[in-house]
Amino acid sequence: MSRYLRTPLTYLKGVGENRAKDMAAHMQLQTFGDLLEYFPYRYEDKTTVVRIADIQPDSGAVLLRGTLTHINPAGGVRATRITARLHDSSGSIEVIWFNGISWLKKFLKEGTTYNVYGRPNLFNKKLSISHPEVELAGQEDQGGAGKLEPVYSVPDKLKSKGFSSKLMGKMTKALLDQLHPTDTPECIPTRVLEAFRLTERYSALNRIHHPASQQEADQAIRRLKFEELFVDQVRMLRTRTDRQQKFSGIPFTRIDGLFVRFYEEGLPFELTDAQKKVLREIRKDVVSGHQMNRLLQGDVGSGKTLVALMTMLMAVDNDYQACLMAPTEILARQHMETFTALLAPFDIKVALLTGTVKGKERKEVLAGIADGSIHLLLGTHALIEDTVVFGNLGLVVIDEQHRFGVEQRARMWTKNHQPPHILVMTATPIPRTLSMTYYGDLDVSVIDELPPGRKPIKTVHYAESMRLRMFGFLREQILEGRQVYIVYPLIDESEKLDLNNLMEGYRGLERDFPRPQFTIGMVHGRMPADDKEFEMKRFVEGKTNILVSTTVIEVGVNVPNATVMVIENAERFGLAQLHQLRGRVGRGAHQSFCILMTGEKLSKDGRTRIKTMTSTNDGFVIAEVDMQLRGPGEIEGTRQSGQPLFKLADLRHDVNVLQAARDAAIEVLDTDPLLEQPGQAGLRRHLDDLQSGEKWWGKVS
Ligand code: ADP
Ligand code: MG
């Protein structure tokens, strides 16, 4: 980066030690470069003078030019306001000020022409403007008239210290006055610039701060947004290429063994087209000689487990072991049951390793993994431990991957001398924009189809007053032989209040669903693992009618006979969580229901969430709404590289720019993977700058 942009802000005209300190502390701005990238978030249009007769009541702020009459400071010497009339050739309007009275008293003269900028309001059927900006006409160079004035956000803490958007504008102006094109070299290759008609970097940086027109501002913003996304995509795609070059993949060339036999003889049902498509994508990866890094997205109940199982068989066919890691003990055990049942007819050894597998049993499992006699290992975080040493691990599947940290996932890489293939699965659909940015370095497969015969879950919203009706419905379902989940919020497991709620709910249910006719079980995060296990098992086996629980049952659990999911205080859950919870039902042949219980009063967002849930079962639609409500930063899933989100790009709206930037990045890297051609020099230097971490912040020399 150029020396100029690395200059500390103290050297900027108008910024002394104190201001520099404040800007560093409250705005994270330290260098000229930081300030250059502190972009305005909107502009005030002072480009055109509006005729007073043409003012529309709802026009927003306008620039007027005219002379003043009837300047009238009310309240004598201690005037608290000044009113006046502004005239132009088309008409007149009242203007009022409440501040800066003594200065205005001297400044405003009848008959002089002024530029007045403010927002007209309709008051008593008459238009007037309260506390507008005012300057002498003919001195536009010093003021704002004739321009699109940038508006910068200024933290409240700094407003009281004399900082304002106008001051920020002055600073950026001073900075730009001395900025030379060589300080901001172009980082987008020329042919991409041309293909997308993007403004060149130096002018974009100038114009975003001080544009001559809204159109110029828009073009500058578009260019800089594109840059953010393009550079980010190039960086991520390069990570992928680097990885592929550094680690050759284990080729699973044999394809005619267990996999095929299972396909022909072992499948309990026909695979969906989506499952077949995904298996083909995986197959292509594992024979390629490159290491597979694939994210499998599929809505709850879309049948990811089976895809995982069949992928694991590909490993076994090639004399490699495979493992599957799940986030909870309950889920790991359930996978174990599924696998054992499906693989019983085949000569293959499956083992389970979790925190509760202890003593002799654990020793045997560890030995079997080490000598290779165990083919498939299923388990929890326990798989990560150093004592777990594989003889020959070829594939790692991570279920509900968002429940694991980046490091935990990375640790699995080291479980073989050559990194195993990695398949991460998630049932939390994320919008396409997010998967391109969060998981841009992974290949993504999507199961976008549910197994046939599923009846869509019916979702209703009940207020507290309908509780008895809800109980009546549960009774009907239970008498028909079905089972019911009732979930209470226990967002922070240490919250006593929530736990009390749960207990109270449980006791209330015992009254309405008395023994011995009904049985109720309960699980929550604070119970010992063994008790949890016991209760879950009873529910899975159909011995309990109602399972009262916290969100510990959120992921993965599969009890096809359960047809009702009641969510208490549903307004307290996020959309992703509601969707996951609802996904616990609707897994069998019977019609399933989700009942969202809430208080009578709901916040606006709360209402949107409930309405979304009652109107769709589509996880991707829900994920979109979730992102609109919460913003992309809050959506589940850790960004792989821990990069901050973007300054300009908003993933909620910029899907087209993102797609274009990704396409361009792919195209550039396809023709020049190492960015060695002269045309790519700017881009390469820019990436090096980013990599060295000294871009805009960090080491100031
Ligand atoms: P998830 O994708 O949420 O992990 P699961 O793998 O648990 O979903 O599958 C949900 C249910 O669907 C399971 O009971 C499973 O046996 C069943 N299933 C999976 N694939 C199919 C299919 N192709 N046809 C019918 N049922 C299927
Ligand atoms: Mg699953």
- pLDDT value of position 244: 77
pLDDT at 165 over 60: yes
pLDDT at 23 over 50: yes
Percent of the chain, pLDDT > 90?
58
- Candidate from 297, 553, 554, 558 with most ligand 1 atoms within 8 A of CB, to mutate: 558
- pLDDT value of position 460: 97
- pLDDT value of position 146: 67
Distance CA 570, CA 432 (A): 27
Q: What does the pLDDT look like over 329-377, one tens digit per residue? A: 888 988 999 999 999 999 999 999 999 899 999 999 999 999 999 999 9
- Candidate from 277, 279, 302 with most ligand 1 atoms within 8 A of CB, to mutate: 302
Pocket of ligand 1 contains residue 582 by CB under 6 Å? no
- pLDDT value of position 510: 93
Question: What is the average pLDDT across 126-142?
Answer: 81
- pLDDT bucket at 475, cuts 50 / 70 / 90: very high
Pocket of ligand 1 contains residue 108 by CB under 6 Å? no
Going by alpha carbons, the residue nearest to atom 5 of ligand 1 is 303
- Using CB atoms within 10 Å of the CB of residue 108, give its burial: 0 to 12 exposed, 13 to 18 middle, 19+ buried: middle
Pocket of ligand 1 contains residue 558 by CB under 6 Å? yes
Question: Which is more confident, 621 or 430?
Answer: 621
Pocket of ligand 1 contains residue 451 by CB under 6 Å? yes
Pocket of ligand 1 contains residue 271 by CB under 6 Å? yes
Going from the Cα of 592 to the center of ligand 1, the distance in angstroms, rounded, reads 16
Pocket of ligand 1 contains residue 305 by CB under 6 Å? yes
pTM over 0.75: no
Going from the Cα of 304 to the center of ligand 2, the distance in angstroms, rounded, reads 6
DSSP 49: B
pLDDT at 145 over 80: no
Strands 321-325 and 293-298: unpaired
Question: What is the average pLDDT across 527-539?
Answer: 86
- pLDDT value of position 554: 63
What is the chain's mean pLDDT, rounded?
Answer: 88
Query: Helix %, strand %, coil % for the chain, to 5?
Result: 45, 20, 40
Pocket of ligand 1 contains residue 46 by CB under 6 Å? no
- pLDDT value of position 633: 61
- pLDDT bucket at 144, cuts 50 / 70 / 90: low
- pLDDT bucket at 641, cuts 50 / 70 / 90: very low
- pLDDT value of position 278: 97
Residue with tokens 């910024």: 15
Going from the Cα of 550 to the center of ligand 2, the distance in angstroms, rounded, reads 19
Q: First CA to last CA across the chain, in angstroms?
A: 11
Ligand 1: nearest atom to the Cα of 271: 23
* Range scoring the smallest mean pLDDT among 23-27, 37-41, 47-51, 313-317: 47-51
pLDDT at 104 over 80: yes
Q: What does the pLDDT look like over 550-567, one tens digit per residue? A: 877 766 678 999 999 999
Helix (H/G/I), strand (E/B), else coil: 687 = helix
Q: What does the pLDDT look like over 448-470, one tens digit per residue? A: 888 888 889 999 999 999 999 99
Distance CA 301, CA 583 (A): 7
- pLDDT bucket at 698, cuts 50 / 70 / 90: very low
Cβ-proximal residues to 406 (8 Å cutoff; 6+ apart), any chain: 638, 640, 642
Going by alpha carbons, the residue nearest to atom 25 of ligand 1 is 451
Pocket of ligand 1 contains residue 300 by CB under 6 Å? yes
- Candidate from 306, 333, 455, 563 with most ligand 1 atoms within 8 A of CB, to mutate: 306
Q: Which helix (H) or strand (E) holds 500?
A: helix 496-512
Cβ-proximal residues to 641 (8 Å cutoff; 6+ apart), any chain: 235, 236, 239, 441
* Range scoring the smallest mean pLDDT among 306-320, 470-484, 548-562: 548-562
Q: Which of 112, 114, 119 is nearest to 65 (CA)?
A: 114
Question: What is the average pLDDT across 656-668?
Answer: 92
Going from the Cα of 298 to the center of ligand 2, the distance in angstroms, rounded, reads 9
Give one DSSP letter per residue of 270-324, joined into a string: PPPHHHHHHHHHHHHHHHSSBPPEEEEEE-TTS-HHHHHHHHHHHHHHTT-EEEE
Pocket of ligand 1 contains residue 580 by CB under 6 Å? no
- pLDDT value of position 205: 97
Give one DSSP letter per residue of 241-261, joined into a string: HHHHHHSBPPP----SSHHHH
Going from the Cα of 503 to the center of ligand 2, the distance in angstroms, rounded, reads 29
Pocket of ligand 1 contains residue 303 by CB under 6 Å? yes
Percent of the chain, pLDDT > 70?
93
- Candidate from 262, 269, 378 with most ligand 1 atoms within 8 A of CB, to mutate: 269
Question: What is the average pLDDT across 45-60?
Answer: 86
Q: Which domains does the chain have, with CATH numbers?
A: 48-145 (2.40.50.140), 258-447 (3.40.50.300), 458-616 (3.40.50.300)
Going by alpha carbons, the residue nearest to atom 20 of ligand 1 is 303
Residue with tokens 């326990």: 382
Segment of 212-221, 630-639, 684-693 carrying the highest mean pLDDT: 212-221
pLDDT at 38 over 50: yes
Ligand 1: nearest atom to the Cα of 447: 2
Question: What is the average pLDDT across 66-81?
Answer: 81
- pLDDT bucket at 496, cuts 50 / 70 / 90: low
Going from the Cα of 296 to the center of ligand 1, the distance in angstroms, rounded, reads 14
Distance CA 280, CA 418 (A): 23
Q: What does the pLDDT look like over 173-227, one tens digit per residue? A: 999 999 999 999 999 999 999 999 999 999 999 999 999 888 999 999 999 999 9
DSSP 262: I
Q: What does the pLDDT look like over 372-424, one tens digit per residue? A: 999 999 999 999 999 999 999 999 999 987 777 767 777 888 888 889 999 99
Going from the Cα of 301 to the center of ligand 1, the distance in angstroms, rounded, reads 5
